[in-house]
Amino acid sequence: MTDRPQPATPNHQPNDNSVVEAYLAAQKDLATDGGQDGRGLIPTAPEGFRSGFVGIIGRPNVGKSTLMNQLIGQKIAIVSPVPQTTRNRLQGILTTDTAQMIFVDTPGIHKPHHKLGEVLVKNAQSAIGAVDVVLFVVDGMEIAGGGDRFIAELLLNVKTPIILGVNKVDARTDLRQSHIDAIDTSYQELAAEHNWPIINFSAVTETGLPELQTSLTEKLEIGPYYYPPELVTDQPERFIMGELIREQIILLTREELPHSVAVTIDRVHEDANITRVLATIYIERDSQKGIVIGRGGQMLKQIGSNAREQMQKLIAGKVYLELFVKVQPKWRQSGLRLAELGYRVD
């Protein structure tokens, strides 16, 4: 294994990855013919095979996570209409006959107001330096604005190839043609200023995604498989489970609450027919407890029931989910608390 190039992103945690471990365990039984490392775990790449890391960056809410899920064909990143949904970098892996692309979904880049915001933006920024191609995603419903220009400036001295991706083109049907033209012109100007190729697409309807995939592949170098072809993410299942709970809290509660919530998965126990999961929802203030729990516990019940349904899809099996709610004052302000809750604090 040592002669295989290591994935470039620091988020890779081979020892903390149940998906990888399960795969490797299964392969140990199956593998007889020689792969690159003689154990048949990762096939030798065919001639002309391209591979590499693609960083998906952009303002909050432009559809980065939706896009990554769609490209890899599985929901591993949570999605919501509330900006700043993604908090950790998350890798999604797409393997075709000719290429392996490892997409790195990042938190939306914005002006930070607290420690969590700072950590999110730093995470996104450091991903830019660690990838082979940057896909800068913008919202095709809006004219290029200050937030996009702020990111364009961050990319000024980056040597990595950059593609400008204009998302949400499916949602423009209600806009006047002159407005659509103005939007297109604003991004064409931005792209021309920096000499970036530009591609329009919709992460929801998949219009333009084949073209996007082709352009991304062309930017990659000839390279090996970095991960087994069947793998879709580098993250352990329990991380995604925690995210699926957080997604339901974002979708079902309103106001400031979504940003004050963190989730930990405390225990996962696999019985013969069911996987039992114990999780804690952290909030910052006692007053928020009422919102998460709801009248007669209705809200917590709904969060649990929706999240459980999503988890069952993820693991393709039955899940029993038990949720606890705890107050952890000011967790967003404390580097230590952030690290304890699983956020990368550089």
Ligand X SMILES: Nc1nc2c(ncn2[C@@H]2O[C@H](COP(=O)(O)OP(=O)(O)OP(=O)(O)O)[C@@H](O)[C@H]2O)c(=O)[nH]1
Q: Which residue has the tokens 């509330």?
A: 82
* Other Cβ atoms within 10 Å of 142 Cβ, number: 16
Q: Which element (helix H / strand E) includes 238?
A: helix 237-252
Identify which of residues 20 and 137 has a Cβ nearer to ligand X in the complex. 137
Asked if residue 65 binds Mg ion (CB under 5 A), the reply is yes
Please list every residue from 196 through 225 that binds ligand X, using CB under 6 A: 202-204
Among ligand X, Mg ion, none, what binds residue 66 when CB lies within 5 to 8 Å by partner kind?
A: ligand X
Identify which of residues 120 and 231 has a Cβ nearer to ligand X in the complex. 120
Asked if residue 62 binds ligand X (CB under 6 A), the reply is yes
Number of residues that bind ligand X (CB under 6 A): 24
Distance from C-alpha of 232 to C-alpha of 220, rounded to nearest angstrom: 19
* Other Cβ atoms within 10 Å of 339 Cβ, number: 12
Asked if residue 86 binds Mg ion (CB under 5 A), the reply is yes
Asked if residue 310 binds ligand X (CB under 6 A), the reply is no
Residue 272 burial (C-beta neighbours within 10 Å; 0-12, 13-18, 19+) = exposed
Closest separation in Å from C-beta 80 to ligand X:
5
117 residue type, one letter: G
Q: Report which of 346, 345, 337, 344 is spatially closest to residue 282, judged by C-alpha positions.
A: 337
Using the rule CB under 5 A, give the single segment among 14-22, 84-92, 174-182, 264-272 that binds Mg ion: 84-92
Asked if residue 123 binds Mg ion (CB under 5 A), the reply is no
Distance from C-alpha of 276 to C-alpha of 79, rounded to nearest angstrom: 25
Please list every residue from 74 through 103 that binds ligand X, using CB under 6 A: 79-81, 83-86
Identify which of residues 118 and 278 has a Cβ nearer to ligand X in the complex. 118
Task: Identify the residue among 60, 117, 294, 335 touching ligand X (CB under 6 A).
Answer: 60
Closest separation in Å from C-beta 317 to ligand X:
26
For residue 269, the number of C-alpha atoms closer than 13 Å in the C-beta half-sphere is 9
Assign 3-class secondary structure to 80-111: CCCCCCCCCCEEEEEECCCEEEEEEECCCCCC
Distance from C-alpha of 246 to C-alpha of 40, rounded to nearest angstrom: 37
Closest separation in Å from C-beta 170 to ligand X:
5
The CA distances from residue 205 to 61, 71, 168, in Å, are 17, 12, 9
Identify which of residues 12 and 87 has a Cβ nearer to ligand X in the complex. 87
Per-position x/- string for 100-119, each x denoting binding to ligand X as judged by CB under 6 A, each - no binding: -------xx-----------
Distance from C-alpha of 304 to C-alpha of 310, rounded to nearest angstrom: 10
- Region of 320 on the Ramachandran plot (φ > 0 left; ψ -120 to 50 alpha; else beta): beta
Per-position x/- string for 162-201, each x denoting binding to ligand X as judged by CB under 6 A, each - no binding: -----xx-xx------------------------------
Identify which of residues 91 and 217 has a Cβ nearer to Mg ion in the complex. 91
What residues line the site for Mg ion (CB under 5 A)? 64-65, 85-86
What residues line the site for ligand X (CB under 6 A)? 58, 60-66, 79-81, 83-86, 107-108, 167-168, 170-171, 202-204
